[in-house]
Structure formats: C-alpha cells, structure tokens
Structure 1
Amino acid sequence: MQERSSVGELVKQLRRELDRYSPGGKLPSSRALVERFRVSPVTVSRALAQLAAEGLVVTRPGAGAFRAQPRATAAPAGDTSWQELALSADGALDLVPRTVDASGVTVSLAAPQPGVIEFNGGYLHPSLQPERAMAAALSRAGRRPGAWGRPPLDGLQELREWFARSIGGPGGAVTAGVLITAGGQSALTTALRALAPPGAPVLVESPTYPGMLAIARASGLRPVPVPVDADGVKPALLADAFRATGARVFVCQPLFQNPTGAVLAPDRRAAVLRIAREAGAFVVEDDFVRRLVHEDAGPLPPPLAADDADGVVVHVGSLTKATSPSFRVSALAARGPVLERLRAIQVVDTFFVPRPLQEAAVELVGSPAWPRHLRALSAELKTRRDVMTTALRRDLPELALPHIPSGGYHLWLRLPDGADESALTAAALRAGVAITPGRPYFSAEPPAAHVRLSFAAVGGTAEITEGVRRLRTACDEVL
C-alpha cells in the first residue's frame, strides 16, 4: 500500500475510534499505533498531523496525542436577516461599492490548530520577540511621571524625535511632521482616508499587501495595479497608470516589498518621486520591515521620504514587526498642508495612542537591549531564510523561487502553470502546514498561481525543514 493511502486509512480508523476517549484523554503512543496497524512511524506522524489540522486531536511534543476538547455550541440566534437589507440599501449611492473583506488579513493573523506548522504567520515567533526587553521597558514606563495621563495628540515628543531621526530627510529630522499612530494598519487607513475621496482610483503595486487592498476597498477606493519586478515598481507603467486613471495616490513598499521581497532600485527611486510630482500625486511609503534586515544585506537605502523635499511622500514606519503583534506603535510623517488633514483624521478615529505604550516604546528603543535585539534578529532571520531556501530547492524544485530577499520574513514562490493554489493550500493544511495563497495579493487577475511562506512565525529551523517536508506531501497530492 502506498504511503498516501496508508495515511488516509489510518486517519479514518483513528477518527472512528476517537469516541472511546474522553475530551483531553490520551491516545495510544506512536509506537503502539505503529505496532497495532503495521505502518511506518512517518505514516502515524502524518495521520496525527491531519487529525490535529481538523481540530480532532491535540499533539504535545514529548507528551503524545490527546482528544481535543469539544467546541462550544452557539446559543440559538434571533432573526438577523433584516441586516442584509440594512447593510446594502445604500450601495447604489456609492461611486465604488465598499467591500469589507478581511480574509486576506486574517490568514496571517489567525493561529493555526495545534500541531500545524505556521508558514502563514505575519509576525515574529515569541522566541524571536524581545519579551524581556519589552517587559522591562513597560515596567520602567509605568513609573515615569505622568505615564498614565493623557499624551499630546501628536504623540510623545521623545518618540516623535526618534522616528524623525530614523526617517531623516532634507534639513534633518523634522519632528513637527511626525504623528504617532497605533500600528501600521491604522497609519495606512488614516493616509488613504486623508488622500483619496470615496470612488477615487488609488495606484498599488502588483502584487501587494492584502491588508492595504482591504483598507482601500472598505473606503470605497478603486485599487489599480502597477506591476513590480525584482527592482520594484516599473516607472514607465507607473507613469502610464497616472495618465490613464488621473489617480492622486500611489501606495508602495520600496524596501523588501510584501510579498516579492523586492527593493526599489536606485535609478527608480528618483523616477517614482518625479512621476508622482508631475502627476500632482502623493506617494504613501509603507516602510514596514526596515528593522528586519538580514545579516548578509548591504547598506540599506534611506526611506523615499529622505529624498523628498516637496512633500510628495507620506511615510509610514512601525515598531510592530520587529517586536510583537501587540506592540502597536508606528508613525506617520508628512510635509505641508496634508499634515493637518492626517492629524484631524487620526484624532477623530483614535484620539491618541495610549500613553503607557508610547512611554514603553521610548524606553525600549533607548535601551542597550534594542540594538542587541536587532543584531540577534538579523542573524536568525538570515539563518531561517537560508534553511527554508535550501529545503525548498531540495524537496520542491518545481516551485519557482525567483528572488531571495535580504530582509523581511517570507519567501514568494510561483507554482507550476495550471496549478490550483487553493487546492494546494487546503492539501497543505491536511498535511499539517499552513501556507498563504497568492490570490489575495493581487488587486486584479493574477498572472500565475503563487504562495507565500513565512519563516519567522515558526519555532525554529527544525520546524522549517519539517514544514517543507509536509508541503512536499501536499504537492504530491494536488500538483
């Protein structure tokens, strides 16, 4: 019997026998299952991983497999059918219908079932987070005079100065143009609401971050794709898109672009700024992973905002990716009259970022632990990237890896022609590994099927190797 069919038969048999065990009850050991069903240890491991992915069992390293607790049954609901009419009655009045679709975001936010390897995560694994440094910073922050009072609406002066120095620009740091915001997603939402009215087109890289596409669509904007290659967005196509659409906003990630990992080439940086200026448009620069540079990267280019004297760039920088998903501190930076509109929307939406969190950010980035953390993170991300790249080339050569980034936390792979990325995503989950399909990264029809694999959300290099092995099983099933 082939390995794949053996796994399927064992899964069926174990599924039938689960009622023998109470919730939380321990299943027979892997050795016992090997002897009883006369299968290999690999078959047992894969069968348990599939049951874990289905939420039927929980695997605990060193302890074994246990029947999962039953999911709570929802109480009978009232009749909410009236909401369908209420939520759609005004749709005819919208120039561009607003669609609130969080699926492209939740795929990297939702924690997978126990036993499933997380290649779809968008944040650092706890082992990579500076937990002790953050805890110490928060403790010190809580003792600062006035730490629990109301902060300045623009944010703490110390924190704004720190972000301003990291951005740089003509004339040095311009603290007056920096607003502290509650994470990069909040900053992007404020920027798009400030710069484009409902119904307007907004130019976006293709592919690009699904969370930004969701913001645009929820605001009634119309994302228009501009293709990128290994050197970032293509200036000629960007100019064509501005002329064709009359757009006044272009959203880009010049450094380690999500998902391709591309860095905007030096000769294209000036071209992007010039093209936007000639179009009378803003460039929203999402500089989200500047602090996730790999150890082998050369000198990083400065933010686009550092080369902008005319107020073209609205810059978004964040601490979240390099710390923790709950450390939601970021900054918006801009020049000129647009700053007042950004400030007004920021205040209306959120009032201000909680002062204790801002104080903790000041303590963290000013401590000796911060540069130590960044150095250790840089080395570990390179190691993980190399382990994943090696495993993919060895075990999955049919998945094309056109670019290996020197920063960020993921790889972008093209599937063979005709491949079904949804089927592969589902098969991967059955095999015990969660991956991110490529479709949500495109605002229009994608040129090919892709998947994105994160190497930062897992526990270590052993999990990366095992995850690629499980992905091989999924590819054998559907490709």
Structure 2
Amino acid sequence: MNDDSSIVRLAAMIREETERLRPGDRLPSSRELMRLHGVSPVTVSRALARLAAEGRVITRPGSGTFVAPAVARTGGTADLSWQTVALGDRVVDDTDVIGLLTPPPDGVIPLTGGYLNPAMRPSKALSGAASRALHRPDAWSLPPLTGIPELRGWFAQEAGGDITPSDVLVVSGGQSALTHAFRALSAPGTPILVETPTYPGALAAARAAGLRATAVPMDRGGVRPELLAEAFAVTGARVFFCQPTLHNPTGATLSAERRGQVLAIARAAGAFVVEDDYARYFAAAPAPASMISMDAHGTVVHINSLTKVLAPSMRVAGITARGPAARRLRASQIVEAFFVARPLQETALEFVGSPAWPRHLAGLGVELTARRDTLAAALTARMPAAEIHLLPRGGLHLWVRLPPDRDEDTVVEAARRAGVLVSPGRIYYPAEPPGPRIRVTHSAALHLPELVEGVRRLATALEGP
C-alpha cells in the first residue's frame, strides 16, 4: 500500500470515529494511532492535517487532537461575527443603488431605472460594431493603459474647448469614473459638496470612499451659487459634485451664466468640480457648453459615459482632467483595474464612428420627447394632487412632489403591490428629505401604453385605501 492510499484510508477511519464521538472528545494520540493501524508518524500527521482542513478535528500542540464542534464538522453555517470587529465601522451600502439595477418581476411596470429599455437600444448596430472590432488584428492585445488614442480623441472632442486626447482617461463606465474621482480628489473623512437632491450612486460612492456628503440646495435653475459659496466657506470642502445638464432627479439644467458662477466660486475656494455629464445625449434642445470647456484652470473633472445612451453592458466612459489630478486618476485606474478591456473600447469606437451613432441619437431624441410628454400628461390627469417639479428639456425622469400628508414609503410600497415600481425620493438626499417625493422614469417601460398604465396603477396607490 503506497503512502497516499495509507493516508486516505487512515483519514477515513478517523472520520468515522469522529462521527461516533461528541464535540470536544479527545482522539487517540498519534503514538496510539501508529500502533493501532500500523502506519508511520508521517501518515498519521498528514491524515490528521486533512481532517483538520475539513473542520472535523482540532489539533492542540501538547494536548492532543479533539473532535471539532458540530458546526465546523458538518459544514453548517459558521459563526462569522468576528469579521464585524475586523472590518470596523465603515459601511459600503449598496441598498439604494441595487434597487435601481434590479429588473422588475413579470407583470410589474418599471417607472424607475437608469437605462433605456431593450427596444430603445441600438442592439443590432452594437453587435455589428462588436463584430468589426473583434476582426481587428490587435483586438485582444494590451491597450494603452489610458485608453486607445482614437477613443480618447473622441471623448476630448465631445467635451469641447481646448481638451486634448492626452487629458482623457478611459474607464469602465460612469460609476467607476465617480469612484475614481472621489478617491483621487478627496481624503477619507473629508467633506464633499453635492446638489440636493442628487444621484444615489454618487452618494454611495462618496460614502464608500469615506467622504461626508454635504447638501447644497437647488431651485428650478439648478444649484444656487450663493449657497454653494457659503457651503465651501463653512465646510472647507475641496470637491463639488454636480450634474449641470438634466440633473438627476430634478431635470434642472444650469444656464451658461450659472455655470460660470459655479466655476468662479470653486476656483476661489481652491476646489474641484466633478461634472457628471451623463445626460448630454438626452437633451431635446442644445444644452449650454460643458463646464470643462469653459475651464482654463484645471478646476473641472469631466465625466462622459456611453452606458446610459447605448446599453447597460457598454461600460465605457471618459474622465477628463488636467494637471496633478489627472496623474492621480491615472494611477488610481492602474492600481484598481489596470485598463478597460480592449474589445469593449474598440466596439465603442466602431459604433460612435459609424452612421448608426447619429441615427440612434436622432431617433432617441424623438422617442424620449414623446415619452416625457406622455408621462407628464398622464401624471397631470391621473394625479392632480401631486406636483411635477419641472418639465425638463429632455432626460429620462420626472421629479414629483407628493401631497404633504402622504407617507412616501407607504406610497412606494402600495405602488409595488399595485404592479408598478417608482423610486422613493429619500434615496436622493444625503440627509433628511424635505418632504415626500418620488422619481418617475419614462425610459424603462416598453411602450407608451405601458407608460400610461403604469401611471394609472401609481395613481391608485396614491389614493390609498
């Protein structure tokens, strides 16, 4: 009998013995096992090591070998509570974000979400672009770590102004860009200013980076510059996160004048502006120039993502910055992810350089306008007690204030039971919300009749029992 088979055989016999004993019972000593089974010290040692790895025995040097507790022996749920102490009190909370990413159950109408429904995505054209990209000889080779030059050039052109390809870093989607920006520009424990309300994914990323999100109020024109200046002065923050075009969730768009004021205030505070330009392709009318195109001092870090306008798995974005901030962002990308997969970058470049891109944008603009108008009309007709914050010049959502006597969570839960999903307003605030709100999305429903039916169900939920 060779050594390996002796180990297996001895381990099997000891395993059977542990089943007959109680947790904590002492097993025969190594010397006794050698005598009983006629094996070498090495065989005994390795057999016991195998059983210890299985969680069946515990070896205590100088005391002997004992039957392990039942949970460890049977493979039941282990007590992992020790990790709470080891991990500390920092929490990475995905609750608010995961609700926006979870597909609705069958029969439930989604009036929430951040992506185009399948019928609105250019799936066929994307597949064609992917096929062409994968036929390139270098499709699977290592890309430049900051992104393939042509794609960086395209993002630079979209940003406008004097931005060059060397200012752009290609990353894995807008959420990744936010995470990189927050970690690169702020130290854990420091404040970050955000519009209020604001995108829940930004709040989650800020908290995961150990930052304290501080609210700056808005009106229908966007963030209020005088309150932004006050917030910088009071908090000492060095970063302001904003969505100046078709803000999520309110739909507000900053005028060119206010954009200039925000830049001047941030520069005076020695602070960065993280410009999330997520909705630049959802505007029904031309939006003012991007803030980074107006910036001559390296104040703005600009994010432009292709995910929302194309498909959830097109996780490609450009993050633009200059100076030491750009160098730190590049280092963050390399340390965390090395680079974005070249086939995905090549596919994105193929698509935006093809006739399918302007065709998609033109058709999308018409469809989103029709959906916005249909949603607004249905809400006005079915829910007169609720108030639409404003009718945005494009975008994917409407921000709705509920009657003050309504409980937001109750309405959202009643809507779910009625077969329609909406986003609760509380998840868009870094602190206590000012009153009951919901965000209602028109891009996730399959078609206009489903959109109208979703509002009917929502109205039923608002009426309550």
Report the TM-score, using the length of structure 1 for normalisation. Answer: 0.80
Alignment correspondent of 1:261: 251
**Residue 218 (structure 1) shift:** 1.0
Mapped contact 2:190–2:237 kept (Cα < 8 A): yes
**Residue 98 (structure 1) shift:** 2.6
Alignment correspondent of 2:103: 111
Alignment correspondent of 2:336: 349
Alignment correspondent of 2:18: none
Alignment correspondent of 2:447: 460
Alignment of 1:338-417 (within 5 A): 338-417=325-404
Give ranges in structure 2 of 5+ residues lacking alignment: 1-73
**Residue 267 (structure 1) shift:** 1.8
Q: 1:80 & 1:138 partners in 2: Cα distance?
A: 45
Deviations 1:181-216 (A, max 9, x none): 000000000000000010000001100000010011
- Check 1:428–1:370 CA distance in 2 against 1; reply closer, same or farther (3 A cut): same
Alignment correspondent of 2:302: 315
1:285 aligned counterpart, secondary structure: strand
1:261 aligned counterpart, secondary structure: coil
Alignment correspondent of 2:118: 126
Question: Which of 273, 278, 282 is the equivalent residue of 2:268?
Answer: 278
Alignment correspondent of 1:10: none
Question: Which of 86, 90, 110 is the equivalent residue of 2:83?
Answer: 86
Tell me whether 1:149 sits opposite 2:147 in the alignment: no
**Residue 80 (structure 1) shift:** 4.4
Alignment correspondent of 1:195: 185
Mapped contact 2:109–2:421 kept (Cα < 8 A): yes
1:205 aligned counterpart, secondary structure: strand
**Residue 433 (structure 1) shift:** 0.4
Tell me whether 1:422 sits opposite 2:419 in the alignment: no
Q: 1:124 & 1:439 partners in 2: Cα distance?
A: 23
Mapped contact 2:121–2:310 kept (Cα < 8 A): yes
**Residue 476 (structure 1) shift:** 1.7
Alignment correspondent of 2:67: none
Mapped contact 1:231–1:265 kept (Cα < 8 A): yes
- Check 1:464–1:280 CA distance in 2 against 1; reply closer, same or farther (3 A cut): same
Q: 2:303 & 2:458 partners in 1: Cα distance?
A: 35
Mapped contact 1:392–1:468 kept (Cα < 8 A): yes
Question: Which of 187, 210, 228 is the equivalent residue of 1:238?
Answer: 228
Alignment correspondent of 1:161: 153
- Check 1:269–1:429 CA distance in 2 against 1; reply closer, same or farther (3 A cut): same
Q: 1:186 & 1:106 partners in 2: Cα distance?
A: 15
Q: 2:249 & 2:262 partners in 1: Cα distance?
A: 20
Q: 2:241 & 2:101 partners in 1: Cα distance?
A: 22
Mapped contact 1:98–1:219 kept (Cα < 8 A): no
Deviations 1:346-404 (A, max 9, x none): 11111111000000001000000110000000000000011111111001011110201
Alignment correspondent of 1:440: 427
Deviations 1:332-353 (A, max 9, x none): 1001111110000011111111
Q: Aligned letter for 2:222? A: G
Q: 1:450 & 1:308 partners in 2: Cα distance?
A: 35
2:205 aligned counterpart, secondary structure: helix
1:412 aligned counterpart, secondary structure: strand
Q: Share of identical aligned residues, percent?
A: 53
1:405 aligned counterpart, secondary structure: coil
Alignment correspondent of 1:229: 219
Question: Which of 194, 213, 223 is the equivalent residue of 2:203?
Answer: 213
Question: Which of 118, 121, 131 is the equivalent residue of 1:139?
Answer: 131
Aligned length, in residue pairs: 392
Q: 1:321 & 1:290 partners in 2: Cα distance?
A: 10
Mapped contact 1:402–1:413 kept (Cα < 8 A): yes
Report the TM-score, using the length of structure 2 for normalisation. Answer: 0.83
Deviations 1:1-39 (A, max 9, x none): xxxxxxxxxxxxxxxxxxxxxxxxxxxxxxxxxxxxxxx
Deviations 1:214-249 (A, max 9, x none): 011111110000011111111111111111111110
Q: 2:434 & 2:351 partners in 1: Cα distance?
A: 43
Q: Aligned letter for 2:297? A: D
**Residue 77 (structure 1) shift:** 7.7
The alignment yields a C-alpha RMSD, in angstroms, of 1.3
**Residue 86 (structure 1) shift:** 1.9
Answer with 412-421 or 373-382: which moved more. 412-421
Q: Aligned letter for 1:112? A: P
- Check 1:77–1:240 CA distance in 2 against 1; reply closer, same or farther (3 A cut): farther
Alignment correspondent of 2:51: none
2:132 aligned counterpart, secondary structure: helix
Tell me whether 1:477 sits opposite 2:434 in the alignment: no
1:314 aligned counterpart, secondary structure: strand
- Check 1:426–1:77 CA distance in 2 against 1; reply closer, same or farther (3 A cut): farther
- Check 1:356–1:226 CA distance in 2 against 1; reply closer, same or farther (3 A cut): same
Mapped contact 1:161–1:173 kept (Cα < 8 A): no
Q: Aligned letter for 1:268? A: R
**Residue 474 (structure 1) shift:** 0.7
Q: Aligned letter for 2:347? A: A
Mapped contact 2:389–2:398 kept (Cα < 8 A): no
Q: Aligned letter for 1:147? A: A
Q: 1:300 & 1:267 partners in 2: Cα distance?
A: 13
Q: 1:410 & 1:166 partners in 2: Cα distance?
A: 24
Tell me whether 1:252 sits opposite 2:249 in the alignment: no
Structure 1 segments, 4+ long, off by >6 Å, are none
1:223 aligned counterpart, secondary structure: strand
**Residue 145 (structure 1) shift:** 1.9
Q: Which has the larger radius of gyration?
A: 2
Mapped contact 1:107–1:120 kept (Cα < 8 A): no
